[in-house]
Amino acid sequence: MTLIKSISGIRGTIGGVTNENLTPLDAVKFAAAYGTWLKEYSNKEKLTVVIGRDARLSGEMIQSLVISTLVGLGIDVINLGLSTTPTVEIAVPLEKADGGIILTASHNPKQWNALKLLNEKGEFLNAKEGAHILKIADEERFNFAGVDDLGEVIINDAYIDIHIDQVLDLPLVEADTIKQAKFKVVVDGVNSTGGIVIPKLLEELGVEVVKLYCEPNGHFPHNPEPLKEHLGVICEKVLEEEADFGIVVDPDVDRLAFICNDGSMFGEEYTLVACADYVLSKTPGNTVSNLSSSRALRDITLKHGGRYEAAAVGEVNVVAKMKETKAIIGGEGNGGIIYPESHYGRDSLVGTALFLMLMAERGGTVLELRNSYPSYFMSKKKIELTPSLDVDEILSSMARKYKDEQVSTIDGVKVDFEKSWVHLRKSNTEPIIRIYTEAETQEKSDSLAKNIMEEIKEISML
């Protein structure tokens, strides 16, 4: 069982021993640390925090603990109940709140949950702010409010509709154009909140929806990470229903993957490529993705006359680089679309609408669209961390070994070869080393990953 404290928030498995898992005491401690930091950071007399959660089984319990803790600190809470990560992100500034917490472990299996922490802009905290909160939690220096100064809880269940309306109001989203295309789409909501919001958005856009695992009961029918090996059922369903394509989201709806009309994977790396292709065709500009994302975004950006840059992995890092370069769209190759015209957060609702517009205007099939893009093939492997593995030494050794290639060490080690690359880094969300490779064929990508894993094994045995 595991407790991970990182730039992605406080994430852990439910049950077990305190300080090693996300137990009720740990949820209270980290909520109290966030509330205490917020009081120092904002320097306001009365604070408000927006709370939302995905549908995982522990969500209601963790939500009750977090809300009660904030109320005990004298902070008012706007409770959105079942929601999505991007919905909470847009709600924070709309409510003029001082921060937000999303209770979700994103793509992790059902035994996990997490506190994702937001600032007053509805954006993730940076590393320095996160480190300060962890320090407060370690010191347990909390000052709770007296009985006359407790916070209040306001329930607001309107934000899914508000979020959908915001997407429909985007200048590059034309509902009538999408309605005229008469799409039929299969949606896999992994029995979380995506099963509520994605079908609702599609129906507003005149799309015929076939629902698959759209009951938000928290019983994930398959591993909730939207990868090919987990998505056999929807691939078959798209063919069976003769649908135009399929949509898959993770439990908190910030990752988006498509299934082609022939039941094959569009490729989560190409979600951002396709959405960027549409946006750049209307509003030329710059793009950003992280170091573990496909080169295809760079190619599409250059085709449209823009400039592409890579950021360290982590949404906050991508957002910072997007602001620095004035990027008009960006995100992560895991299917995360960040479109500043809406907000600075990964958003599957926005990505869905942009993709529908691209398909409606371009015509043809989703498979034809996929085949029109530069072909790169990725391999995504991982090595479980053990006490005997010295991650820093492994990364340093790999950087030294490939010093004659183009090497980046801003986030782990990335080595760019002429026609391929490899990125090694310690995960922010799981106790693993991630090994991502990309090449011109799947065989070459897999072979590169295999060779790198063998080299790591040799280093760890020294």
Write down which residue in 157, 183, 217 finishes a domain.
157
SS3 content of the chain, % helix, strand, coil (to 5): 40, 25, 35
> According to the 3-state scheme, what is the secondary structure of 263-321?
CCECCHHHHHHHHHHHHHHHCCCEEEEECCCCCHHHHHHHHCCCCEEEECCCHHHHHHH
The answer on 345 and 385 residing in a single domain is: no
Contacts of 97 (CB under 8 A, 6+ apart): 48, 49, 50, 78, 91, 120
Neighbours of 70 (CB within 10 A): 26
CATH number at residue 384: 3.30.310.50
Structure tokens at 328: 């008009």
Residue range 327-358, pLDDT digits in tens: 999 999 999 999 999 999 999 999 999 999 99
The answer on 315 and 212 residing in a single domain is: yes
How many angstroms separate the CA atoms of 115 and 67, rounded? 12
pLDDT of residue 369: 98
Averaged pLDDT, 417-446 = 91
Write down which residue in 120, 135, 157 finishes a domain.
157
Residue 129 has pLDDT above 70, yes or no: yes
Q: How far is CA 367 from CA 214, 259, 372, in A?
A: 25, 9, 9
How big is the CA angle at 227 (ends 4 and 207), to the nearest 5 degrees? 115
Write down which residue in 333, 348, 371 finishes a domain.
371
How many angstroms separate the CA atoms of 129 and 5, rounded? 13
How many angstroms separate the CA atoms of 439 and 69, rounded? 49
Residue range 210-234, pLDDT digits in tens: 999 999 999 999 999 998 899 999 9
Displacement of CA 237 from its chain's centroid (Å):
25
DSSP letters spanning 112-130: EEEEEEE-TTS-B--HHHH
- Residue pair 5/34 in contact (Cβ under 8 Å)? The answer is no
pLDDT of residue 432: 86
Averaged pLDDT, 101-126 = 96
pLDDT of residue 462: 55
Q: Beta partners for 192?
A: none
The answer on 409 and 288 residing in a single domain is: no
Averaged pLDDT, 277-281 = 98
The answer on 394 and 320 residing in a single domain is: no
The answer on 358 and 231 residing in a single domain is: yes
The answer on 114 and 172 residing in a single domain is: no
pLDDT of residue 427: 84
Beta strands in 119-190 (DSSP E): 153-155, 184-188
Minimum mean pLDDT range among 70-74, 179-183, 417-421, 456-460:
456-460
Domain count, the chain: 3
Active site residue 106: yes
pLDDT of residue 428: 74
Residue 160 has pLDDT above 70, yes or no: yes
The answer on 361 and 221 residing in a single domain is: yes
CATH number at residue 103: 3.40.120.10
Helix (H) or strand (E) holding 393: helix 391-401
pLDDT of residue 388: 76
Residue range 367-384, pLDDT digits in tens: 999 999 999 999 989 988
Residue 43 has pLDDT above 90, yes or no: no
| Torsion angle (degrees, nearest 10) of CA 371, 373, 375, 376 | -130
Residue 5 has pLDDT above 90, yes or no: no
pLDDT of residue 8: 65
Phi, psi at 349, each rounded to 5°: -65, -45
The answer on 332 and 457 residing in a single domain is: no
The answer on 141 and 106 residing in a single domain is: yes
Catalytic site residue from 8, 58, 83, 106: 106
How many angstroms separate the CA atoms of 24 and 15, rounded? 8
The answer on 360 and 228 residing in a single domain is: yes
Share of the chain above pLDDT 90, in %: 89
The answer on 146 and 87 residing in a single domain is: yes
Residue 286 has pLDDT above 90, yes or no: yes
Q: How confident is the model at residue 7 (pLDDT cuts 50, 70, 90)?
A: low
Averaged pLDDT, 111-140 = 94
The whole domain housing 356 covers: 162-371
Q: For the chain, how many residues are written?
A: 462
pLDDT of residue 459: 85
